[in-house]
C-alpha cells in the first residue's frame, strides 16, 4: 500500500482561480474550462502535478461550495485528465443525523442516486458503523459496484453481496476486548438516561445526543475512560455526540481509503478520489487525500454555531477543501455526477469492478462476516 503523502497542495478550492476563469452569476462555470482552469479545478499545477505544500486546515465557512464548482469539475474531468472515484461517509452525509442510530435508513431518493453512481464510478461507503449493519441500512447488498469499509475501515468488503470481508489483524485480535468493553458500557450507561451503546463489531460507540441531563456528560466520559484504561488495546475517539472505542493501532478512515485505492488499482495519477464526510473521523481521509483528491466536508451554518457554543470560536477547522451544507446538497452533487456519467460527459469505470478487495496489502487478513 502506498503511504499517504505527508505534504501536498490543496485541490482547487484553496488556490485562487486562474485569470480568465469566468463564472456565471449563479457561481457555475460560464463555459467549458480551458486547460489552465481544468487543472486548477482538479488541484494541479499547469504541469499536471499536484502542488507541494503542507496540509492547511481552514474554517469550513471559508471553503467554496462544492455545488458551485461541480460544472467546472465535470468539464475538467471530461477533458480526460482524471476520472472520479467516490468515498462516502454514511451518517450525516448520505442520511441525516437522527436521534435513534438504528433509524438512520437511506432515503429512496438517495438510494437511487447511489445505485446509479456506483454503477458508473468506483464507489465505497466508509463509516464508523459495523459493516453488516451498514449494508443493512443502505439496502443495496447485491450491487456489483459498491464497496464497504465499516468500523472506521477495520472491516472491508467487496461488491459481491458481502460474502467476503477483510479485517485488520489487530482488530480481529482485539475483538474479545471490544465485546467486554461493550458489555461493561451497557451496564454503565444505564445510569445515564438517554445515552446508548452501539456495538459496531470492530468498534464500540457511546452516543450521548439524547442524554437527558447534559450536566452528566463529564461523568459519562469518565466512565468511558475507565473502561478504556482497564482494558488493553483500546483507544477513545470523539465524534458528533459520540465517544468511540477502537483497536489501538494506526488505522483509520484515511488508511482504509488508501488501501482501497491500492487494492482496486486506482492509485494512479489519472484518478481523482473524492471523499465526502461530516464527522471528526473523516478528517483522517481528508488529510490522506489532500493534494491527491478532493475532500468535501458536510457542514451547515448550524453545525458551525454548535461548535462555537462548545467553546470553539472559529468552529471546527478542516483539511477538506470544499463544503456541502447538508445531505440534500450531497444528493445533488452526487446526482450531477451520475447524470454526467450516464451522458458520457465524465469518464467512468475503465474495467468491470473487481470482485475482491484483497489487493496487495499484507496487513489485512481475511475474515468472515
| Residues acting as catalytic residues | 89
Strand partners, 86: 123, 274
Q: What distance in Å separates the CA atoms of residue 185 and residue 233, rounded to the nearest whole number?
A: 16
CB burial of 44-58 (b: ≥16 within 10 Å; e: otherwise) equals beeeeebbeeebeeb
Backbone phi, psi, residue 216, to 5°: -85, -5
Q: Name the region of 358 (left: φ>0; alpha: ψ -120 to 50; beta: rest).
A: alpha
**Dist. CA 283–CA 33, nearest whole Å:** 30
Q: Around Cβ 278, how many Cβ atoms within 10 Å?
A: 26
Q: What share of the chain is helix, strand, coil (3-state, %, to 5)?
A: 35, 20, 45
Nearest to 154 by CA among 141, 132, 170, 135: 170
Q: How far apart are the first and last CA of the chain?
A: 24
Amino acid at each position: 500500500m502506498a503511504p499517504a503523502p505527508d505534504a501536498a497542495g490543496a485541490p482547487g478550492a484553496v488556490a485562487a482561480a486562474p485569470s480568465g476563469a469566468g463564472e456565471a452569476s449563479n457561481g457555475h462555470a460560464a463555459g467549458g474550462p480551458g486547460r489552465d482552469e481544468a487543472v486548477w479545478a482538479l488541484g494541479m499545477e499547469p504541469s499536471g502535478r499536484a502542488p507541494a505544500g503542507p496540509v492547511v486546515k481552514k474554517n469550513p465557512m471559508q471553503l467554496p461550495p462544492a455545488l458551485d464548482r461541480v460544472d467546472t469539475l465535470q468539464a475538467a474531468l471530461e477533458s480526460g485528465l482524471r476520472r472520479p472515484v467516490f468515498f462516502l461517509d454514511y451518517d450525516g452525509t448520505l442520511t441525516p443525523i437522527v436521534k435513534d442510530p438504528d433509524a438512520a435508513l437511506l432515503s429512496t431518493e438517495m438510494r437511487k442516486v447511489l445505485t446509479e453512481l456506483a454503477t458508473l464510478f468506483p464507489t465505497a461507503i466508509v463509516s464508523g458503523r459495523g459493516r453488516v449493519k451498514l449494508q443493512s441500512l443502505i439496502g443495496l447488498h447485491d450491487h456489483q459496484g459498491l464497496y464497504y469499509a465499516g468500523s472506521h475501515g477495520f472491516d472491508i468488503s467487496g461488491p459481491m453481496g458481502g460474502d467476503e470481508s477483510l479485517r485488520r489483524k489487530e482488530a480481529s485480535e482485539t475483538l474479545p476486548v471490544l465485546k467486554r468493553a461493550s458489555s461493561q458500557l451497557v451496564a454503565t450507561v444505564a445510569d445515564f438516561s438517554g445515552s446508548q451503546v452501539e456495538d459496531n463489531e470492530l468498534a464500540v460507540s457511546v452516543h450521548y445526543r439524547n442524554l437527558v441531563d447534559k450536566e452528566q456528560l463529564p461523568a459519562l466520559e469518565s466512565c468511558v475512560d475507565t473502561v478504556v484504561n482497564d482494558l488493553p488495546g483500546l483507544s477513545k475517539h470523539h465524534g458528533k455526540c459520540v465517544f468511540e472505542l477502537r483497536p489501538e493501532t494506526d488505522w483509520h478512515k484515511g488508511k482504509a481509503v488508501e488501501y482501497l485505492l491500492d487494492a482496486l488499482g486506482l492509485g494512479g495519477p489519472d484518478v481523482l478520489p473524492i471523499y465526502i464526510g461530516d464527522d471528526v473521523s473523516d478528517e483522517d481521509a481528508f488529510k490522506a487525500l489532500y493534494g491527491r483528491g478532493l475532500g468535501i466536508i458536510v457542514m451547515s451554518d448550524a453545525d458551525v454555531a454548535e461548535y462555537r457554543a462548545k467553546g470553539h470560536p472559529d468552529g471546527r477547522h478542516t483539511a477538506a477543501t470544499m463544503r456541502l451544507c447538508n445531505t440534500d446538497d450531497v444528493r445533488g452533487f452526487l446526482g450531477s455526477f451520475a447524470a454526467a456519467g450516464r451522458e458520457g460527459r465524465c469518464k467512468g469505470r475503465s474495467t468491470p469492478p473487481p470482485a475482491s478487495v484483497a489487493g496487495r496489502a499484507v496487513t489485512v487478513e481475511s475474515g468472515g462476516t
